[in-house]
Chain A
Amino acid sequence: MHPSPEYRPGLPEQNDNVSHNHPLKEFVILLSGVTAFLLLAAWSLGLLVDWAAGFISPEMEAVIFSSMQVSGATVFVQQKDDPRRVALQRLVDELGRCNEVGYPLRVNMAKSKIANAFAFPGGRIVILEGLLETIDSENGLAFVLAHEMAHFKHRDHLRGMGRGLVFTAFSALLTGAGSDITQLIAPALGIGQARYSQDREALADKLALETLNFFYGHVGGATEFFEAMQEETGEQGRGIGGYFASHPEAVQRINALRRLAAASGFAVRKTAPLPKALVTPADAPSR
């Protein structure tokens, strides 16, 4: 049958050309190595950003971010004589004497139904109009403003922005933008950043509470905004999504503020109504 005596048909007993260990095991080992490296890198880069943020003075910051005003200028300029803006600015200036932000802060309002406030680099606080409808007392409003001011005092806007920049550049450098591994790194860094951001929010809440107590002599109204938020979102928690969120859950913030107020011996008294200029029609029925 065999055409040649040189040839003996046979197959190798085992395949030496492939590795026989389990791919999942290799995956777990490699993944934990990469994760450990990333955590270390993110942590040390974050410290570097914090260190660098300390070198940027408020004046320098205003110069750097002055170009950012262009986009919103048309909206904000019309508000120059808006009585609501003037009232908010006055409140911020008065609060500023209590928490020594060291920034020239300007308040602006933006049209939106959403109740929120933002701290932008360059010393600009933006209040969304929805916030004025949600909040009924001056104390509640002062807490939100003091919270944003605390972000300025802590330089959180610079830290957050710096981290965003550095992490994006870092992951792109490491893997090339849009590669498969970026899909893995982005959520990992996202969790780290969310965790950091939640910590900073809690710190800003703490300073805001102290400012409120210093300003009014009590901390009534501190949780007003979060209570309104909680009513809106309902009772159910965010589940696993909470690990990725930039802000702690409203109920956690309320509890943390209450604990802090109790521990510091801050009193809770009756809140003052909003200044007349800031009362919106939506507030009227609840009065």
Chain B
Amino acid sequence: MDALIQLIFFLTLLTLGYVFGKIAEKKHYRSIIEREKQWMQIPTTSGRHVLSTDREVKGVKLATGSVVISVDYFKRILAGLRNFFGGNVRSYETLVDRARREAVLRMKESCPKADQIINLRLETSSISKGNKNQIGSVEVLAYGTAVYLYPSSTATHL
């Protein structure tokens, strides 16, 4: 009887995790795709030099964006099952993908007037690492150099 209660408890958590995790993920992806289109116009590269331009650099700023995303119960169990057999932990792929893209978007949103962002770097850390029975979540920090340019002078432009 004890085992039955445990099983019902487990299945309830699993279903809740799956349903709410799915809803949250869909919603998040919709927002990411929409905002990526919106911010596409700011060139963002991992290169160390300003993309070639005829305009002079007015100034630079450090731009950062970070996000913490938690894994749902279903994904955690799926990853746990995967631990037995090895292989790609597919259930965590969307988690880190969303975190990376959201962090970059937040970084861009922190400097909406920048002309370029160069030297983009991404850092990942897992929160509550090594602690069992704690919420497993991933943090992604995106940082780069926001470059501001002078308006192009009509004189030099042909």
Interface residues of A (CB under 8 A from B): 1-7, 9-11, 15, 17-19, 21, 23-24, 26-27, 30-31, 33-34, 37, 175-176, 178-181, 183-184, 186-187, 190-191, 194, 240-241, 243-245
Given contacts A11-B40, A30-B85, A34-B84, contact A244 B115 (CB under 8 A): no
Q: Which residues of A contact B133 (CB under 8 A)?
A: 178-179
Interface centre among B36, B74, B84, B116 (most CB of A within 10 A): B84
- A59 vs B58: C-alpha distance in the bound complex, in angstroms? 93
Q: Which of B9, B33, B74, B78 contacts A30, CB < 8 Å?
A: B78
A186 near B6 with CB under 8 A, answer yes
CB–CB B91/A191 < 8 A:
no
Interface of B is mostly: helix
* B23 interfacial contact with A, CB 8 Å: no
Is B78 a contact of A27 with CB atoms below 8 Å?
Answer: yes
Q: Is A187 within 8 A of B40, CB to CB? A: no
Least Cβ–Cβ distance between A253 and chain B, in angstroms? 18
Chain B interface size range:
35 or more
Partner-A contacts on B (CB < 8 A):
1-4, 6-7, 9-10, 18, 33, 36-37, 40-41, 43, 51-53, 55, 74-78, 80-85, 88, 90-91, 93-94, 97, 115-116, 132-133, 149
Among candidates A7, A11, A26, residue contacting B78 with C-beta atoms closer than 8 Å: A26
**Would you call A17 and B97 a contact (CB within 8 A)?**
yes
Partner of A10, one of B40, B55, B80: B40
Task: State whether A183 touches B6 (Cβ < 8 A).
Answer: yes
A178 contacts B1, CB within 8 Å? no
